Amino acid sequence: MLRRRENWLKALDGSSENLIEIRDLMYSRGSRVIFKDMNLTIKRGEVTALMGPSGTGKTTLLRLITRQLVPQHGVICVDGVDISSLNQAGLYEMRKRFGMLFQNGALLTDYNVFENVAFPLREHTSLSNRLIRHVVLTKLHAVGLRGAADMWPSQLSGGMARRVALARAMVMDPEILIYDEPFVGLDPISMGVIVRLVRRMNDALGITSIIVSHDVAEVSTVADCSYLISDGKVAASGSPDELHAANSELVRQFMHGMADGPVAFHFEAPDYAEQLLGRDAE
């Protein structure tokens, strides 16, 4: 096993076009297996989507990539570095390379828009107030909300709050930007704005983006590569067009939103009549 791990690490050097490499990942919670022998690659400079039915562990995978969770087996490398080998100081430095857009925005309700975006700078840098003001207004301008700097989270629409959260995620100029369900709860206009920002920010800043989402149509317009996760493994991968054309029943069911298919409507349960009426039911 040790030799196999050494071979993995030799192959995953920082000169690769792959920024994140996951090899033979296994992770369980109690008796429930979340991932089993999962292999996945995220290329530099691309928008990569992680999709799949609910409960397949997509958000758990993000936590493993940022080492909030530790796998039982396998290797996760970020820019050629096995993150399991990092000490606490190294882990904190690695996490500074990530920006995170949380599913609900996670704005701090006691801070206005400006201070929400400024928060990471105040916590992790020694920049002067003048420079912080310059950086924050620049990021807010990039998402179209410089004029909302003095507003409070309670005054923002859902789409505006998501854009403020995106400005905060970008304020430290991360190399990797993670979006956890960025389109949930948005009206069509706000959703279109976020989709455009994801693509524009990725290309303009030269970063790498990871999107977890159920919204197949929106993801298909922005992702360079998509992974469909099911039963603890990658069920399919490729460009959105390739996934739409796939022959797999599971892929077709998910990509086209079909009610019937490998993902059953009913969760596994005892016999219906027996459970309702008892063992003697005919």
Q: What is the pLDDT of residue 243?
A: 75
Distance CA 169, CA 142 (A): 12
pLDDT score, position 214: 76
DSSP 236-273: EEE-HHHHHT---HHHHHHHHT-SSSSS-SSPS-S-HH
pLDDT value of residue 5 = 45
Half-sphere exposure in the Cβ direction for 199 (13 Å, CA): 13
Question: Rounded to the nearest 5°, which phi and psi values hold at 261?
Answer: 165, -165
So what's the pLDDT on residue 193?
Answer: 81
- Given this model, what pLDDT does residue 260 score? 52
Which pLDDT value is given to residue 59? 85
Go through the domains of the chain in sequence order and give each one's CATH number. 2-97+174-277 (3.40.50.300)
| CA triple 44-204-216, angle to 5 deg | 65
> What pLDDT score does 152 carry?
95
| pLDDT for the residue 131 | 94
**Token pair for 16:** 């690769």
Specify whether the CB–CB gap between 172 and 124 falls below 8 A.
yes
Say which residues have a Cβ less than 8 Å from residue 224's Cβ, sequence separation at least 6. Answer: 43, 46, 47, 48, 239
Q: What is the pTM of this model?
A: 0.78
pLDDT along the chain (282 residues), means of 10: 46 66 88 86 90 79 88 88 87 87 83 94 91 93 89 89 89 89 78 83 87 80 85 81 72 60 57 67 48
pLDDT of residue 84: 85
Amino acid present at 183: F
Quick one: which H or E segment has residue 236?
A: strand 233-238
Structural Rg of the chain based on CA atoms: 21
Give the position of tokens 């303009």: 204
